Structure 1
Amino acid sequence: MNFAYYPGCSARGSSKDYEMSTQAVCKALDINLVDIPDWNCCGSTPAHAVDTELSAALCVRNLDIAAQQQAELLLTPCPSCLSNLKLAANRMQDAAFRTRVDELLDGPSAKNFPPVTSVMQGIAETIDMDAIAARVRKSLKGLRLAAYYGCLMSRPAEIMNFGDPENPTLMESMLTACGAEMVDFPLKTACCGASFGIPERVMTARNSGRILDLATQLGVDAVIVACPLCQMNLDLRQPQASKEMGTTFNLPVLYFTQMMGIAFGLDHKELGLSKLRVSAEGLIRKLDELRRNSAADSKAAEGGRS
């Protein structure tokens, strides 16, 4: 299966591990992600706050390229990219807005753009949970995980179309299919501070610290994310969050594709696990130990029956 793919800027830089694991997991599921040619930055977080039309033009150019390629569906891994692309397409339904954006692009854009969805939704809509479970080689059984979506993936609900905006559950379904125990995580859509990690470090540290603190209290083995900014704030900035919360966090924060890749038995180098600030080695050791114990129990049970 081939899908048009918009990787976004962070995929080639700060979230390279997300890109690596996304490509590896999709390949394992026989999903081929084909970059749209000559794509450009979507404007990320700051552009739309400066100029709505210029920001939309950045996104519309990408949507227009996908339309020219006759793409039926466009996938992107990043919630910020997803939000910007979807909002731009929605705003282009206004004739006056479309005219101004087309002027910025020096020509008319396509009348109709292909729908845009997240890689997570693209996988789930293409491959059911039983098929995901069938691909598992190293079950995540015994791990307690918290799914954290962040504030962009499901909002605004009428644009993002990602289930309940306060309680999305797709990540839980996918990781449960891989054998994990998913805890009920009340802060799954709370803001981590997003791009305020530079201008408002204290605020971001407090927001992220609150999320990490609850996850720690719930006794999870890792927090699982789907957003480069969320991953950066919860992983890279753990020392800052620890300082604000008066404690010391040491909690692995993995992308959902990295966790699925582990369950699929993929090479850890392919998944970019070495790029995590808080190492996932303890998580891997626990999984290996759980599998050894399970194998030993099975052997002992067989011996008892004989």
Structure 2
Amino acid sequence: MQYSYFPGCSMDTTGITYKKSIEYVCSKIGMVLREIPDWNCCGATCAHSKNEKVALALPARNLALAEEEGLELDVAVACASCYSRMKHTVHAARQSEETRQELEEIINMPYRAKADVLSFLEIFARPEMMRLCQEKMYRTLKGMKVACYYGCLTSRPVEVTGASSTENPMEMDEIVKLTGAVPVEWDFKTECCGASHQVDAPKTARPQLERILKNAQANGAQAIITACPLCNLNLDMREGELNKANGTAYNLPIYQFTELLAVCMGAGVKDIGLQKHFFPAFDLLNEYLRKAGDTV
């Protein structure tokens, strides 16, 4: 069980809890992640807002490097933005032989576009992966109510991602159920968090975060679960700020879905970086773990 692995630029900094929890879970279930050698930034937002060919070529080089390993492995991608950019490149290369050849010329490497690009949501939602995860769990978060927040890039556009649903995806919901947590029904599963506009246009972007927090809490969630380093960072970093600025009382820890899996497999605080959260992350987990005679 192996995948080529593209970590992306955020995974050693703002996405460290996602990285550590992914690696912890993979180590427990025997999944091997082979990091692509000499990988480069996928281009994220800036490249495709400036130059379409550069936006396709940056991921193409990473995918070509993975192919160069000769193992014919699919590529696992953690960041939703990286995932989106790589999926666009694969889609464009498979749709047009002319485009594929042009990308080869730009990156000065062979690129066949044979490997699929997969998010960790897609990987862990596979029945055999869910079975392996469940076999390694001995803790439970039974009864903890959570809002599964997918964000806007893991499912859209559907002609590129091949997602089962752009409005009501269920992969994370099913994964989270393995931990004993209970996904709530709510209205903002696939709304945008504001992404980098939380930095350059906060007056416009902050209300997007508040709508997500408000709707999740109104529908009974005790935490929000994510699958993207930027979505997680925006909600985790800004929740306390929004409470202070607006006099609200949102009380929703923000976890990556792999953090819940890791905790239920026995991970401690420093194993997965729980201490690095901005909004308090311990109390809710311990409330439910204590019911089963354990703590994180």
> In which range does the TM-score fall when normalised by the shorter chain?
over 0.9
Q: How many residues align?
A: 292
* Distance in 2 separating the partners of 1:120 and 1:99: 31
Q: Residue in 2 aligned with 1:299?
A: none
Are 1:4 and 1:73, in contact at CA under 8 Å, matched by a contact in 2? yes
Q: How far off is 1:250 after superposition?
A: 3.1
Partner of 1:103: 105
Structure 1 counterpart of 2:173, which letter?
E
Measure the CA separation in 2 of the matches of 1:277 and 1:173. 27
1:279 Cα deviation after fit: 1.4
* Contact in 2 for aligned 1:64/1:113 (Cα 8 Å): no
Task: Give the equivalent residue in structure 2 for 1:230.
Answer: 231
1:263 deviates by: 1.3
Q: Is the 8 A contact 1:224 1:256 kept in 2?
A: yes
Q: Deviations over 1:242-301 (max 9, x none)?
A: 3665413232001001011111122221111011101111112211332249xxxxxxxx
Match of 2:192 in 1: 191
TM-score, normalisation: structure 1: 0.90
Deviation per CA, 1:187-233, whole angstroms, max 9, x where unpaired?
A: 10011111111111122210000000111222322100001111111
The whole-number CA distance in structure 1 between the counterparts of 2:263 and 2:200 is 35
130 and 96 in structure 1: CA distance in 2 versus 1, 3 angstrom threshold? closer
Tell me the residue number matched to 1:262.
263
CA shift in 2, pair 1:72/1:126, >3 Å: farther
- How many angstroms does 1:111 deviate by? 2.4
Give the residue type in structure 2 aligned to 1:129. M
Partner of 1:17: 17
Counterpart amino acid of residue 206 in structure 2: A
Q: What amino acid maps onto 1:4 in structure 2?
A: S
SS in 2 for 1:242: helix
- Tell me the equivalent position of 1:202: 203
CA RMSD, Structure 1 to Structure 2 (Å): 1.8
Give the 3-state SS of the residue equivalent to 1:146 in structure 2: strand
User: Counterparts in 2 of 1:82-161, with a 5 A limit?
Assistant: 82-93=83-94, 94-105=96-107, 107-125=108-126, 127-161=128-162
Mapped partners of 2:5, 2:217: distance in 1: 35
Percent identity, aligned pairs only, is 33
Secondary structure of the 1:198 match is: helix
Read off the aligned partner of 2:41 and give its amino acid letter: C
1:70-107: per-residue Cα shift (whole Å, max 9, x none)? Answer: 232110111111110010121123244334433322x2
1-structure distance, mates of 2:246, 2:99: 45
Query: By how many angstroms is 1:128 displaced?
Result: 4.4
Measure the CA separation in 1 of the matches of 2:42 and 2:140.
37
Aligned partners of 1:205 and 1:244 also within 8 Å: no
| Counterpart code for 2:106 | L
Aligned to 2:78: 77
Q: Does 1:58 align with 2:58?
A: yes
Contact 2:56 2:89 in 1 (8 A): yes
Counterpart CA distance in 1 for 2:110 and 2:53 is: 14
Secondary structure at 1:139 match in 2: coil
TM-score, with structure 2 as normaliser = 0.93
**Structure 1 stretches of 5 or more lacking a match?**
294-306
Q: How far apart in 2 are the matches of 1:90 and 1:128?
A: 26
Contact 2:36 2:66 in 1 (8 A): yes
Shift in CA distance, 123/129, structure 1 to aligned 2, threshold 3 Å: closer
Q: CA deviation at 1:131?
A: 3.5
Question: What's the counterpart of residue 39 of structure 2?
Answer: 39
* RCO higher in structure (CA 8 A, sep ≥6): 2
Residue aligned with 1:259, SS: helix
Q: Distance between the aligned counterparts of 1:204 and 1:228, measured in 2?
A: 17
CA contact (8 A) 1:205 1:240 kept: no
Offset of residue 142 of structure 1: 1.9
- Whether the 8 Å CA contact 2:84–2:154 is kept in 1: the answer is yes
> What is the letter of the counterpart of residue 100 of structure 2?
R
Measured after TM superposition, the shift of residue 123 of structure 1 is 2.5
Secondary structure at the residue paired with 1:92?
Answer: helix
> Are the aligned partners of 2:60 and 2:111 in contact in 1 as well (CA < 8 Å)?
no
| C-alpha deviation, 1:54, in angstroms | 0.9
Residues 1:195 and 1:4: Cα distance change in structure 2 (over 3 Å): same
Aligned equivalents of 1:126, 1:219: Cα separation in 2: 28
